Amino acid sequence: MNDILYQSRFLKACRREKTDVTPVWLMRQAGRYMKSYRALRAKHSFLEMCRTPELAARVTVDAVDQLGVDAAILFSDILLILQAFGRELRYESEVGPVVTPALTEARLVGRLPRISVDESLGFVFEAVRLARAGLPPSLPLIGFAGAPFTLAAYLIEGGKSHQFVKTRSFMYQHPAEWDRLMGKLSDATSDYLRGQIDAGVQAVQVFDSWVGCLSPADYRNSVLPYTERIVASVRSRVPVIYFGTQTAALLPWMKKTGCDVMGLDWRVDLKEEWDRLGRTAVMGNLDPAVLLASRADIKRNAEAILRSVAGRPGHIFNLGHGVLPTTPPDHVKYLVDVVHRFSGARSRLS
Ligand code: CP3
């Protein structure tokens, strides 16, 4: 990686170094709330956009141009890898993602193929190359993948779920097949992240969006060993952000993956959690619904988070989950400006 990128605010914060202002980017910064995105979506399906490198790269770069954020995230989706495992993937407007056939029987784990990410996900690597070439040379690009638990949950449930009962009962009933499934998903995910790094991303985020449905003991025994393996396979090359929701009880265990940055959702107090976690960088954690309120509300809530951590090195500002589709676009830009302005003023004083 060249020095301009290495010295960027975002990567410095990943390393817990002091920065001039607090870096900020937003999960789902490219999405339906954005006019330019909806214009492209009117002509292409979501999957078509993900699978066409020129379109994915364009959406990635557009978001950064419009928002002035400190990092780009590749426009893609965590579920694309399930197509490589022979699943059909659809996105239905009222329902969300649908994965067919669902993995309903433990004996079917053995039939999941060993995948070649170059053959099945080469379009993602090409999107990384194009996005990297289209971004300002000093702006880091974040690659990502779904964590094995969250991918297994989509495979087993066949789509979204509130309680993940099928996934949890599979894990209890079929421990050997669970291990085999998690092993296959982890190997593929490590390959996938390494491919993105080879293609030009400067950091990776592992999304474990639904892991918060597990008890600490089950996380530790049935998930941590796999996520740890993935983090270990890429960490020497780029910083790793690990994010999940409803993870308050799991965070100390999630930290044991060896990740560089802990992503926090809005249900926890960022400062208190950071104090508890100790040596790590943190990312978060404004409630995305705040962006639906007034500018005064956005300013007050964002500044409260910044004030609470008092410029401690290693904070990357983000939402506690993705930008909601009904968010006014000017509010997103406003948030980015508030974070830069407030944290810049405080760092000039100290
Ligand atoms: O953050 C970014 O800007 C990068 C792009 C990105 C998308 N999905 C684009 C997307 C990223 C990082 C993801 C990750 C992802 N995908 C996660 C983990 C993060 C999280 O939200 O917890 C999950 C669970 C998925 C699965 C997924 N994909 C869901 C649940 C949905 C439907 C939800 C919805 O808003 O309809 C998607 C579709 C999706 N992924 C869209 C976008 C922009 C909306 C597609 C559209 O245009 O209709």
Answer whether 329 contacts ligand 1 (Cβ < 6 A): no
**The pLDDT of residue 350:** 73
* Distance of alpha carbon 328 from alpha carbon 313, whole angstroms: 30
Q: Which amino acid type is present at position 128?
A: V
Indicate the helix (H) or strand (E) that contains 158.
Answer: none
Contact call for residues 97 and 45 (beta carbons, < 8 A):
no
Answer whether 41 contacts ligand 1 (Cβ < 6 A): yes
Answer whether 212 contacts ligand 1 (Cβ < 6 A): no
Considering only CA atoms, which residue is closest to atom 33 of ligand 1? 96
Expressed in angstroms and rounded, the spacing between residue 28 Cα and the centre of ligand 1 is 7
**The pLDDT of residue 252:** 97
Report the nearest atom of ligand 1 relative to the CA of 63.
3
Expressed in angstroms and rounded, the spacing between residue 330 Cα and the centre of ligand 1 is 21
Contact call for residues 207 and 150 (beta carbons, < 8 A):
yes
Annotate 279-298 with DSSP letters as a single string: SSEEEEEE-GGGGGS-HHHH
Answer whether 16 contacts ligand 1 (Cβ < 6 A): no
- Say whether 28 is catalytic: yes
Expressed in angstroms and rounded, the spacing between residue 321 Cα and the centre of ligand 1 is 11
33, 37, 154, 192: the active-site residue: 154
* Distance of alpha carbon 146 from alpha carbon 116, whole angstroms: 17
Per-residue b or e along 71-95, where b marks 16 or more CB atoms closer than 10 Å to that residue's CB: bbbbbbbbbbbbbbbebebeeeeee
Considering only CA atoms, which residue is closest to atom 21 of ligand 1? 322
Q: What angle do CA 311, 69, 53 make, to 5 degrees?
A: 140
Annotate 107-142 with DSSP letters as a single string: GGGGGSPPP-HHHHHHHHHHHHHHHHHHS-TTS-EE
The Cβ-side half-sphere exposure at 302, using a 13 Å CA radius, reads 32
Per-residue b or e along 106-137, where b marks 16 or more CB atoms closer than 10 Å to that residue's CB: beebeebeebebeebbeebbbbbebbbebbee
Residue by residue, pLDDT tens for the chain (350 residues) are 889 999 999 999 999 999 999 999 999 999 999 999 999 999 999 999 999 999 999 999 999 999 999 999 999 999 999 999 999 999 998 899 999 999 999 999 999 999 999 999 999 999 999 999 999 999 999 999 999 999 999 999 999 999 999 999 999 999 999 999 999 999 999 999 999 999 999 999 999 999 999 999 999 999 999 999 999 999 999 999 999 999 999 999 999 999 999 999 999 999 999 999 999 999 999 999 999 999 999 999 999 999 999 999 999 999 999 999 999 999 999 999 999 999 999 888 77
* Distance of alpha carbon 117 from alpha carbon 76, whole angstroms: 15
Answer whether 153 contacts ligand 1 (Cβ < 6 A): no
Q: Which residues contact 348 (CB under 8 A, 6 or more apart)?
A: none
16, 32, 180, 312: the active-site residue: 32
Considering only CA atoms, which residue is closest to atom 32 of ligand 1? 96
Report the nearest atom of ligand 1 relative to the CA of 74.
4
Please name which of 282, 278, 283, 350 lies closest in space to residue 310, comparing C-alpha atoms: 350
Please name which of 81, 74, 115, 28 lies closest in space to residue 199, comparing C-alpha atoms: 74
| Structure token digits, residue 310 | 């008092």
* Distance of alpha carbon 234 from alpha carbon 28, whole angstroms: 23
- Say whether 226 is catalytic: no
Expressed in angstroms and rounded, the spacing between residue 315 Cα and the centre of ligand 1 is 24
- Say whether 180 is catalytic: no
Expressed in angstroms and rounded, the spacing between residue 348 Cα and the centre of ligand 1 is 37
Q: Cα–chain-centroid distance for residue 24?
A: 14
Domain architecture of the chain: domains with CATH:
3-349 (3.20.20.210)
- Say whether 312 is catalytic: no
- Say whether 265 is catalytic: no
Looking at the DSSP bridge assignments, the partners of residue 317 are 24, 284
Considering only CA atoms, which residue is closest to atom 13 of ligand 1? 77
Answer whether 209 contacts ligand 1 (Cβ < 6 A): yes
Please name which of 194, 203, 198 lies closest in space to residue 141, comparing C-alpha atoms: 203
Which residue pairs from 99-108 have beta carbons closer than 8 angstroms and sit at least 24 positions apart in sequence? 99/154, 99/155, 99/157, 99/158, 99/159, 100/158, 101/158, 102/155, 102/156, 102/157, 102/158, 102/159, 103/155, 103/156, 103/170, 103/181, 104/156, 104/166, 106/170, 106/173, 106/174, 106/177, 107/177
